Amino acid sequence: MKANVSIMRCNSYSMDILIPVIENVISTSDFPEVNGRTVFVKPNILSDSKPESCITTNPEFLRAFIRILKKRGAASVLVGDSPGLPAPSFAAMGCGIGQVCKEEGAKWIDIGSDNIIVAIPFTKQRLPVAAAVSTSDLVISLPKFKTHQLMYFTGGVKNLFGVIPGLHKSPCHLAFPTREAFAKFICGLYSYVKPDYCLMDGIIGMEGPGPANGTPRAVGLVLGSSDCGALDYSEATIMGYKPNSTPLIRALKAKGLFPEGISYPLLSARELVISDFKRISITEKTKFVRTLIIPFFTRGIQKRRQMKEPAPEFLTDVCIRCRRCIEICPGNALEMKNGKVERSLSRCIRCYCCHEVCPADAIVIPKITKR
């Protein structure tokens, strides 16, 4: 079955411009009936950063969507996310999303304290997940148009990683240390959550070393679909990727979670490719015959593949010694010595969590961007 992905141009977060655009997008891409229903909206809040950094879904984008949900009769609107290193009782006030929830009558939920343990499909993992996923009538992903060091891009599917409480995310990277393994894990989470719709803030996105330390880029688009995978495929296309070369799209297709085709009722992603977009270069997958590799060697092969990925480098002159990178590192590869962060290359699993949480842009990943 084909999925509809609706895309419209939009260059403003002003309500009088944005609301009609979102209405048109959702009206042409199989948006679910919300009247009388509880809707859980999951924005992208990687960190509690100010809107101008473009790290999070813009709070005005959320405001417009909440107003549309209420106008369409939603009984209740819940909003929540959990960054990798959340403060106690995280309320998303720094990024403006918490304030928008208060002003628009939506309920902010603390995923860190309101969660249930569930089995993640395609894995042996049992993890805490936001209770709102199972108690709400509808789940809607509200991602930001951004690059991502590990997955190359982050969209509607990867955004669902935020339904797991922050302190439980780092061990996931240790359990699924390669790009391919992590993509399959995210597919399992996606299969559990089963989001009903995805609406992407692509008005001002992020290029370069995302998802936290890239550069804001005026993209001027709003994307919507009832199929997160189809929307992500479209986002990757616009960034200039061949989507089938990315681990997430490959994993979605391998697990039967991708539609038979994609239709574009409005603008086509193929006509919107940004030729000079600074995307993250795709590392060629190590070539070996899977069927000839016996399980005994699997772990060693994965480790060698990891070691071929670029390791994070630390800029001592820029570092503010906040220790966030050390706290989040799942492989215990970092420590503070004589006022400097030192890394163990043998322990580093190249998950780039340290890069994501660095507030000073003091961590770089070499050889990652190209035009």
At 264 the pLDDT is 99
At 366 the pLDDT is 86
Domain membership flag for residue 280: no
Asked whether residue 370 carries a pLDDT value surpassing 50, the answer given is no
Sorting pLDDT into bands at 50, 70 and 90, what band is 167? Answer: confident
User: The domain spanning residue 360 has which CATH number?
Assistant: 3.30.70.20
At 260 the pLDDT is 97
Sorting pLDDT into bands at 50, 70 and 90, what band is 185? Answer: very high
- Give the residue with greater pLDDT, 134 vs 291: 134
In this structure, the answer to whether residues 268 and 294 fall within a common structural domain is no
In this structure, the answer to whether residues 314 and 252 fall within a common structural domain is no
Token readout for 78 is 């819940």
Domain membership flag for residue 96: yes
The residue among 275, 308, 323 that closes a domain is 275
Asked whether residue 302 carries a pLDDT value surpassing 90, the answer given is no
In this structure, the answer to whether residues 271 and 294 fall within a common structural domain is no
Query: Across-strand partners of 117?
Result: 128
pLDDT tens digit sequence for 54-77? 999 999 999 999 999 999 999 999
Asked whether residue 200 carries a pLDDT value surpassing 60, the answer given is yes
At 285 the pLDDT is 52
Give the Cα separation of 268 and 1 in Å (integer): 18
The residue among 223, 243, 275 that closes a domain is 275
At 89 the pLDDT is 77
Domain membership flag for residue 150: yes
Whole-prediction pTM value?
0.89
At 284 the pLDDT is 58
Query: Across-strand partners of 198?
Result: 141, 225
In this structure, the answer to whether residues 172 and 49 fall within a common structural domain is yes
In this structure, the answer to whether residues 270 and 294 fall within a common structural domain is no
In this structure, the answer to whether residues 187 and 102 fall within a common structural domain is yes
| Domain that includes residue 70, residue range | 2-275
At 306 the pLDDT is 58
At 100 the pLDDT is 99
Instruction: For residues 344-367, give the mean pLDDT.
Output: 91
Sorting pLDDT into bands at 50, 70 and 90, what band is 220? Answer: very high
At 161 the pLDDT is 98
At 371 the pLDDT is 37
Q: Phi then psi for 363, rounded to 5 degrees?
A: -125, 130
Domain membership flag for residue 284: no
pLDDT tens digit sequence for 245-300? 999 999 999 999 999 999 999 999 999 999 999 999 997 554 333 333 434 344 45
Task: Name every residue whose Cβ is closer than 8 Å to that of residue 328 and which is 6 or more positions away in sequence.
Answer: 84, 85, 170, 353, 354, 356, 357
Sorting pLDDT into bands at 50, 70 and 90, what band is 369? Answer: very low
pLDDT cut 70: percent of the chain above it: 91
In this structure, the answer to whether residues 270 and 297 fall within a common structural domain is no
pLDDT cut 90: percent of the chain above it: 85
In the chain, how many domains are there? 2
User: The domain spanning residue 142 has which CATH number?
Assistant: 3.40.50.11440
The mean pLDDT value of the chain amounts to: 92
Matching residue, tokens 């969590």: 353
Give the Cα separation of 171 and 276 in Å (integer): 36
**DSSP strand pairing (107-108 vs 76-79):** parallel
In this structure, the answer to whether residues 321 and 256 fall within a common structural domain is no
In this structure, the answer to whether residues 244 and 99 fall within a common structural domain is yes
Asked whether residue 305 carries a pLDDT value surpassing 60, the answer given is no
At 219 the pLDDT is 99
At 287 the pLDDT is 38
In this structure, the answer to whether residues 302 and 259 fall within a common structural domain is no
In this structure, the answer to whether residues 343 and 199 fall within a common structural domain is no
In this structure, the answer to whether residues 187 and 299 fall within a common structural domain is no
Return the amino acid letter for 117.
I
Domain membership flag for residue 352: yes
Asked whether residue 301 carries a pLDDT value surpassing 60, the answer given is no
